[in-house]
Amino acid sequence: MNVAAILKLKGKGVFTASADTSLLETAKLLEQHGIGCIVIEGEEGKVVGIVSERDIVRAIGQSGPKVLKDPVSGYMTKTVVTAREADTIDRLMSEMTTHRFRHMPVVERGRLIGLVSIGDVVKMRIAEAEMEAAAMREYIATG
Ligand code: AMP
């Protein structure tokens, strides 16, 4: 199972914002869409950063609510680890565990084409395990 299979199931839509969006607007987007992170896009669909609920909480915790009017560019993570469609779920799990984050934008030919969260990965892993168990039961019953 790979990233392409996950995107086929969940779709390729990604919530994005530009680097000049305020932290408050970013927090509103997270709340409105029920998501945990926003990919920050530059020109021509290039990924220039990622901001998660953790970054917003950290900024408020460190400097107080006045940061909410600041542009997200000062608080986003700029070195974004991305995935490709051909990457396996095991690779994503390994990256997420190593770097301790829960989201990976999917990029092909320099353009953002999807986003995989740790929730998507776990869901796929459970589906795989259930399919294997069903195949095993079938094999035993008909064997
Ligand atoms: P998360 O666990 O995804 O909410 O993010 C935890 C921290 O990692 C935050 O500071 C994010 O900005 C950062 N982060 C999330 N996803 C990525 C990613 N794919 N590449 C680099 N940093 C990330």
Q: How many separate domains does the chain show?
A: 1
What domain range is 123 assigned to? 3-142
Domain holding 106: CATH number?
3.10.580.10
Q: Are strands 103-108 and 111-117 parallel, antiparallel or unpaired?
A: antiparallel
Cα of 38 vs centre of ligand 1, distance in Å, is: 10
Backbone angles phi, psi at 82, to 5 degrees: -115, 165
Q: What is the pLDDT of residues 33-59, one digit of tens each?
A: 999 999 999 988 899 999 999 999 999
The confidence score (pLDDT) of residue 63 equals 97
Q: How far apart are CA 57 and CA 134, in angstroms?
A: 43
Q: Ligand 1 pocket test: pick from 103, 106, 116, 121 the residue with the most ligand atoms within 8 Å of its Cβ.
A: 103
The confidence score (pLDDT) of residue 95 equals 96
The confidence score (pLDDT) of residue 43 equals 87
**Pick from 36, 39, 34, 42: nearest CA to 14:** 39
Q: Which residues of the chain have pLDDT under 70?
A: 143
